[in-house]
Every structure is written in structure tokens, then in C-alpha cells.
Amino acid sequence: MKTTIKISVITISLVLMLLADIPFLTNQLVPDAEAILGVRRRAWRRGVIVGSTMGAATEAAAMSHQQAAPQQPAPTQQQVAPAAPAAPPPAATGQPLPLGTVVSALPAGCTSTPVGGVEYYYCGGNFYRAVFQGNKLVYVTAKPE
Amino acid sequence: MRILIFRMSAACFALGVLILSVTVCTEVRAQTPAVDPAATQILQKMTDYLGSIKQFSVHTQNTLEDVLDSGHRVDFDISASVIVSRPNRLLAERRGDLIDQDFYYDGESLTLYNPADKVYATEPAPDTIEGVLDFARESLGIVVPAADLIYRNAFSLLMQDVIFAAVVGKAVIEGVKCDHLLFSRPGVDFQIWVAEAGQPLPFKYVVTDTTTPKLISITTVMSDWNIAPSADDARFSFEPPLGVKQINFMPLETSSGSNP
């Protein structure tokens, strides 16, 4: 009796794995199969066929890939950033940000003050300094000295 | 018992089919990589030629593709002029909404200057163009337009890890008849269009990120090639105009960035 159960479990799982190979079923099966049966590697090999359906599954992985992406695509990510609205720092609250916080644009209403030959921008209880982060001009919270 | 044996053999058969399909898949994959020597020869002719000329200037039109969070496809355009004077001078001026910046290298230091923001930053630099391109990318995270093609050893850098190379055909770019080449390496596909006759100069360069299904590309179209530009050494040194303030570079964190 025990062996019968074992064998039927094996058979069913094998049939499931086989089903995952049928292209038109990949839509429903691959994401689940990936999690349950660990067929991710096989799915990768068939990347060309299931490329589109793998999209969702590999999105997260792709994002992390992009961080360490080859040099060429990097600028796309980097330079496009300012086009999207950057998270505004909580300037209005007057809450000081930790030193070294990077923002892509100064909050509204900053006043500039030169301190020791360096231009500082003061607003919302924070001093900012302009720096180049790669090709991009950003502002970093700093302590004037 | 008979059913049991039948089930067992069915399972074994299924397993066999599975293994076979995986093996066939990997073998087909292993056989397809093909590097056509005709394509690599044209590429080498181009890189050798570009590496051999002492001075050149070129205008580039760069298009960066992107997909917005909303899912819409947009292009960002940057127009750039590059002057190279080997072994140790480089000037790149980029104009566009996304980036409006000049890159100066005079053999001693490199400078990044944003005319609109009226700020610049300077850093001591290595003594060759190749050294400064590496230094800018690895230590400061700065990308110079068409840098891949400026390297004197561009051929070996471009061919690194290439698993596929082909001559796609012919195309006319900027009025010049070119050979269209396609290369692939893990994560990146790139295409180069090289003038078929006369000086083997590149006229178009497309790099595609194949790590995501979006297949985002950066396209560079090159025009106005001049292999005898009138550029004296002073042109490559930055003199800050009045009212322009000096700022610093943010050092790259060692954990990120240094990836080539």
C-alpha cells in the first residue's frame, strides 16, 4: 500500500513536470511550478520560448541585474532618474536628515550661503552641498565647516 | 502488480523523455554560438584604423530608450561632440535635456562641467586616454560618450565574451554605405555599422541590454568624422568661466559601480 502511494506521488509529480514543458500551458504553470517543483533552471533554458511569461517571474531578478548591469545600459538608469519625480525630502517638517543623504533636486525655498569657499544650500533645517555622483549633479546633506 | 510495473515503466519513460529534452535543448544551445570571421575582420579593421589615427573629431547623436513606470516607451536624446587627441587629450560636449555636460581631459586632470548649473569638478587623472576612461568609469562612475570605440585596444574589449558574430547585411547610414555587424555576449547585444569603402569608420552603434525582457538599447549615430581636426592642446584644458563654482565628485561605493 505504502509503495503504491509513493509511486503514484512520483508519477503525478513527473506528469506535472512534463505538463510544464507544454508551451501553451506555461502561462498558468510556470510560475507555480517554479515555486513548487524548482524547475526554474529548465524554464531558463527555454528562455526564448517562455521569455514573455518569464517576464513577471524574473522582473525582480532583472532589477537587481540592472544594478550591476554592463556599463552601457547603466547611464539609462542613472540619467533618467531625474525625469521621474524624486522623493522630496521632508523639508517642511524641519526634521534634520542624516548627514550624507542624497537628493536629486533641492527642496523649494533653499537659500545659498558660501562657507569656507563652498556653496551650501540651507532649507528645512538641512545644509546641502552640490556634488557629482557619476555624471549626475546631486545634492548631499552636509555640515558646513 | 502488473499495474505497478506499468506505472513504473511509464514513470521511467517520462523521466527519460524529460532528460532527453533537456539534453537536446542544451546541445542545440551549445551548437548555435557561431562567430563569423567575416564580421570580426571588419570590426578589427575599424578598431585598428580608429586606434591608429592620432586626432579625430566626431559628432554623435545618442538615443537612450527607456520604459516609464507607467509602461510607456520613451526616448531621450543627447547630442555630443567628441575630440580625441592621442595619447592623452579628450574633449566631449554633451547637449540635451537629460544631460548637459562637458568632459575635459588634458593629460593631467579630468573635469566635468555643467554649464547650465554653473558647477564643475576636477580630479587628477591617469596619463593616457585609456587610463582616464577606466578611472572615470571605475572610480567616479562617469561614462564618456562612445568610450568603447575610443580605446586603442577596442577590438579585444569589444570581443570579450562574444559568443555570436555575424554580418547582417548592408545599410546606408548618413549617406555612407556600411557593413552591418551584429555581436552578442551574455547580457549584451551590440551592432556596429562600418563604412564599406574608404576609411573603415563606424557610423552607427547600438547596444542592447538583453538581461531584461524590455531589451532597452542605446543608439549612437556618428557623423562629421574629421581625422585632422584643428584642436590645439589648450582646447582640452578647462578654464572656469566667471561665476562658475567648483564642487566635488562623490567617490563610488566599493560595493557597486566597479562592474565593467
Q: Does domain B37-246 have CATH number 2.60.120.560?
A: no
B29 contacts chain A (CB < 8 A): yes
- Give kind and range of the element (H or E) at residue B178: strand B176-185
Distance of alpha carbon B137 from alpha carbon B126, whole angstroms: 13
Phi, psi of B184 (to 5 degrees): -140, 135
A137 to B117: CB separation less than 8 angstroms, yes or no? yes
B98 to A18: CB separation less than 8 angstroms, yes or no? no
A72 to B10: CB separation less than 8 angstroms, yes or no? no
Q: Are B11 and A7 in contact (CB under 8 A)?
A: yes
A7 contacts chain B (CB < 8 A): yes
Looking at the domain assignment, is residue A78 inside a domain?
A: no
Hey, of A129, A135, A136, which one would you mutate to test binding to chain B, going by the most B CBs within 10 A of its CB?
A135
DSSP string of B96-121?
ESS--EEEEE-SSEEEEEETTTTEEE
Place of cell 524548482: A38
So what's the pLDDT on residue A86?
A: 44
Looking at the domain assignment, is residue A55 inside a domain?
A: yes
Quick one: which of B64, B91, B36, B48 has its CA closest to B232?
A: B91
Looking at the domain assignment, is residue A106 inside a domain?
A: yes
C-alpha cell at B160: 570579450
pLDDT greater than 50 at residue A36: no
C-alpha cell at B37: 570571421
Looking at the domain assignment, is residue A45 inside a domain?
A: yes
Q: Quick one: A13 and A61 in the same domain? A: yes
What does the radius of gyration of chain A's CA atoms come to, in whole angstroms? Answer: 26
**CB contacts < 8 Å between A and B, how many?**
137
C-alpha cell at A11: 508519477
The number of folded domains in chain A is 2
Q: Quick one: A6 and A64 in the same domain? A: yes
ipTM over 0.85: no
Is the pTM above the cut of 0.90? no
| Domain encompassing residue A127 | 92-141
Other C-beta atoms closer than 10 Å to the C-beta of B103 total: 24
> What is the tens place of the pLDDT at every residue in B129-181?
999 999 999 999 998 888 888 999 899 999 999 999 999 999 999 999 999 99
Q: Quick one: A103 and A64 in the same domain? A: no
Q: Quick one: A61 and A102 in the same domain? A: no
Q: Quick one: A12 and A62 in the same domain? A: yes
Beta carbons within 8 Å of B104's beta carbon, 6+ residues apart: B90, B91, B110, B111, B113, B236, B237, B238
Q: Is the dihedral of CA A27, B22, B188, B255 positive or negative?
A: positive
Lowest mean pLDDT: which of A4-8, A96-100, B70-74, B98-102? A4-8
So what's the pLDDT on residue B17?
A: 66
Half-sphere exposure of B117 (CA within 13 A, CB side): 25
- The 8-class DSSP code of residue B249 comes to E
pLDDT greater than 80 at residue A35: no
Q: If contacts are CB pairs under 8 Å, which of residues 103-122 in chain A contact chain B?
A: 118-119
Quick one: which of B22, B20, B13, B23 has its CA closest to A10?
A: B13
A65 to B212: CB separation less than 8 angstroms, yes or no? yes
Q: Quick one: A98 and A64 in the same domain? A: no
CA-based nearest distance B92→chain A, Å: 12
Phi, psi of A102 (to 5 degrees): -105, 130
Residues of A within 8 A of B21 (CB-CB) are 21
pLDDT greater than 50 at residue A134: yes
Q: Are B63 and B76 in contact (CB under 8 A)?
A: yes
Looking at the domain assignment, is residue A133 inside a domain?
A: yes
Looking at the domain assignment, is residue A46 inside a domain?
A: yes
Place of cell 545599410: B171
Beta carbons within 8 Å of A30's beta carbon, 6+ residues apart: A20, A39, A43, A50, A53, A54, A57
Looking at the domain assignment, is residue A86 inside a domain?
A: no
Work out the pLDDT band at A7, boundaries 50, 70, 90: confident
Q: Quick one: A117 and A61 in the same domain? A: no
Q: Quick one: A63 and A97 in the same domain? A: no
Distance of alpha carbon B167 from alpha carbon B227, whole angstroms: 26
Work out the pLDDT band at A97, boundaries 50, 70, 90: confident
B157 contacts chain A (CB < 8 A): no
Domain borders along chain B are 37-246
Q: What does each C-alpha distance from A28 to A23, A34, B126, B231 come to in angstroms? A: 10, 11, 55, 62
Out of A11, A59, A73, whose CB is closest to B209?
A: A73
